[in-house]
Amino acid sequence: MMASIKTIEAQIWKLESLEVKISGKGDHPGWDWANEASNNWTFRKWKEKRFNKLYPKLTAALKNGRPENTTLGTLRKEHE
């Protein structure tokens, strides 16, 4: 099923608890992962292993402006 960028951002938030800003145009496949990535991963690793595989023509950045070497666990704790 095709999804808008806003829908993909919402799907990532729901599963991964990450607030991302996606840049690009058009409709794309929905977020296709069933489990959240490890808290030990950095945002950079998450982009390489998950986001870029599904969306090679899109870019993702953290909405909070944190650096890409921030771990997912740190990012998730900010929303607790």
The Cα 49–Cα 54 span in angstroms is 9
- pTM assigned to the model: 0.92
Q: Which residues on adjacent β-strands are paired with residue 27? A: none
Q: Counting runs of H as helices and runs of E as strands, what totals does the chain give?
A: 4, 4
Rounded mean pLDDT, 53-73:
95
Q: pLDDT tens, 20-50?
A: 999 998 889 999 899 999 999 999 999 999 9
Average pLDDT, whole number, for the chain?
A: 94
CB-CB contact of 70 with 8 (8 Å): no
CB-CB contact of 56 with 29 (8 Å): no
In the chain, where the domains are located: 2-77
User: Could you tell me the pLDDT band of residue 79, with boundaries at 50, 70 and 90?
Assistant: confident
